[in-house]
Structure 1
Amino acid sequence: MKKILNSCRYLAIILICLLCLTPFLILLILSLNTPQRNFYEGHMLIPDFYFANFAMGWEKSNIGRAMVNSGIITLEAVLLIVLLGSMAGFAIARFPIKMNKGIFSVLLCCMMVPGIINTVPLYTLMIKINAVNTLWGMACVCATTALPQAVFVFTGFIKALPKEVEEAAVIDGCSWTRVFWNIDFPLLKPSISAVVILNAFGIWNNYSQAVFFLQDSRKHNVPQALSVYFQQFAGAKWNLMAATAVIAVIPVVAAFLLFQKNLMHGLTDGALKG
């Protein structure tokens, strides 16, 4: 009976994986077909291996510049999230006064609000500080949206850390600032990995807010560049559209495969503690 149950579980896992991978497989096959071929012609699962699509897609879509823009935005936003989120989590976890508890409650409520709802007030603020059509402004918007979740994760992880080492350092004359940077921050690697990976993918693929804050074509991120290319240039050339989409997906897939172990450790050792 157990063997049958295990076989059913493995079969279900395989089917789920196939369902998830099928769109990517179709995308890859389309990207390797010649311009004259339709997807339903010939053997659907055997492409023509026409690699010139990638060179043409790269040249016509300006995806290279968009990837650089997305990389800058993601890097700046992730740095803000980690620095501000970890410091806020330390203050809330180690100084549980009424004000800090109130701030933590407000942040938890912010986690329930979709980020797109704040677009209008954020846009008004961005205009006043001349941050529209700037990469640093978009990075601040992404960091602001992700900070509540980051503070929640860091607070739970720091609460699970033993206080004895910190108290001993304070007795020896160490300030709370040095306690955080020299003792606690190095121990936050699992939770930092989880926060970085979970938020970096969302920031890289952010389209709904980028449409408002990055209207200049020179500042477009990857989703915007793909959208403009699909609408204005590619037309019905499915091979070029698919090849450009594959190029845009490669960095995300490579980053996930590289850091997936850190993600699992961060979720189990960091975010779920406390």
Structure 2
Amino acid sequence: MKNTRTLGKYTLVAAMTLLSLIPFYILLYLALNNPSRTLFNGLSLLPDFNFSNFSEAWESSKMGLATLNSLIIAIGGAVLIILAASSAGYAIARYSNKFHQSVFNVLLICMMIPAIIITVPLYTLMKSIGGINTHWAMILLMASNGVPFSVFLYTGFIKVLPREIEESAIIDGCTPFTAFWRVTFHFLRPVTAAVVILQGLAIWNNYGQAVFFLQGQDMRTIPLAVSMFFQQYGAQWNLMAAAAVIGLAPAVLAFLVFQQYFVKGITAGAVKG
């Protein structure tokens, strides 16, 4: 009976894994096909292995420049989110009072508001301060989108850390500020990795707001570059899929680098908090 249950569990896991991989297989299938072939022909499940799609997609959509723009915005946004959210989470967790709790509640409410809803007033604001088609404005915008949920994670994670960590540093002469950045922040690597993955990928894949605020050709990010194959060139599925694979590679690499901390950061920050 026990062996049957174990076999059933492994079968279920294998089936879920297979279902999760199907979209990636279809994407690679389209990326390696000739332009005249988009879907499966008959019973053939193998593509044409046309690797020239990647070079053509790279050149026609200026994928190199789009990748650089995405990296600048994603790294800048992630750094701002980590600095702001970790500091706010520390203040809320360690110095709890009515004001800090009110701020925390406001941030929780902000988590429930879809970012796309405030795009129009944000566009008016960005236009008035000269933020359209600039990296700095998009970085600030992406950081503001990601701070509320990140504060929620950091607050929960810091609450389960013993206070003696920073108290010992304060006794040795550190101020609360330096004790946090020199001592406590070292123990926040799991939740920081979770924030980098969640918010970094959200910024990397952002299209809904990037299409409003990054209208210049030289400012396009990867999602905007991929969308070109629907707007400028029509529905060129092979090039669209090839560009999507190129854009997906850095995100997968980042996840593999930080994934060992990901689950620990999410469970400690969200469940125990």
TM-score normalised by the shorter chain: which range applies? Answer: over 0.9
Match of 1:166 in 2: 166
Distance 1:221 1:152, change over 3 A: same
For the 8 Å contact 1:191–1:267, the answer to whether it is kept is: yes
Partner of 1:64: 64
Q: Is the 8 A contact 1:32 1:51 kept in 2?
A: yes
Indicate the residue corresponding to 2:241 in structure 1. 242
> Residue 85 of structure 2 contacts residue 151 of structure 2 at CA under 8 Å; is this kept in 1?
yes
Return the offset for 1:270.
4.1
Instruction: State the distance in 2 between where 1:173 and 1:248 align.
Output: 47
SS in 2 for 1:188: helix
% identity of equivalent residues:
51
User: Are residue 204 (structure 1) and residue 199 (structure 2) matched?
Assistant: no
Work out the CA distance in 2 between the residues paired with 1:38 and 1:114: 34
| Distance (Å, rounded) in 2 between the aligned partners of 1:102 and 1:255 | 35
Q: TM-score, normalised by structure 1?
A: 0.92
Asked whether the 8 Å contact 1:190–1:270 carries over to 2, the reply is no
After TM superposition, give the deviation of residue 241 of structure 1 in Å: 2.3
SS at structure 2 position matched to 1:119: helix
| Distance apart, 1:35 and its partner CA | 3.1
Preserved contact between residue 229 and residue 239 of structure 2 (Cα < 8 Å): no
1:220 corresponds in structure 2 to: 220
Letter of the 1:241 partner, please give it: M
User: Deviation of residue 171 (structure 1)?
Assistant: 4.0
CA-to-aligned-CA distance 1:138-191 (integer Å, 9 cap, x gap): 111111011011111111111111112423433444211111111211111111
- Answer yes or no: is the 8 Å Cα contact 2:165–2:184 preserved in 1: no
Q: What count of residue pairs does the alignment treat as equivalent?
A: 273
Tell me how far apart the structure 1 counterparts of residues 179 and 235 of structure 2 sit (CA, whole Å): 59
C-alpha contact 2:230 2:236 (8 A) present in aligned 1: no
Cα deviation for residue 261 of structure 1 reads 1.3
Instruction: Say if 1:115 and 1:145, in contact at 8 Å, map to a contact too.
Output: yes
* Gaps in structure 1 of 5+ consecutive residues: none
CA distance in 2 between partners of 1:217 and 1:175 (Å): 48
Q: Which amino acid aligns with 1:53?
A: N
In structure 1, C-alpha distance between the alignment counterparts of 2:41 and 2:132, rounded to whole Å? 46
C-alpha displacement of 1:193: 0.6
Change (3 A) 1:99 1:37: closer
Task: Describe how 1:1-274 pairs up with structure 2 within 5 A.
Answer: 1-41=1-41, 43-233=43-233, 235-274=234-273
Counterpart secondary structure, 1:206: coil
- Structure 1 residues 124 and 251: alpha-carbon distance in aligned structure 2, compared to 1, 3 A threshold: same
Q: CA deviation at 1:271?
A: 4.0
The separation in 1 between residues aligned to 2:227 and 2:112, in whole angstroms, is: 29
Note if contact 2:157-2:265 (Cα within 8 Å) is conserved in structure 1. Answer: no
User: What is the rounded CA distance, in whole Å, between the counterparts of 1:237 and 1:117 in structure 2?
Assistant: 31
Aligned amino acid, residue 259 of structure 2:
Q
Q: CA deviation at 1:4?
A: 2.3
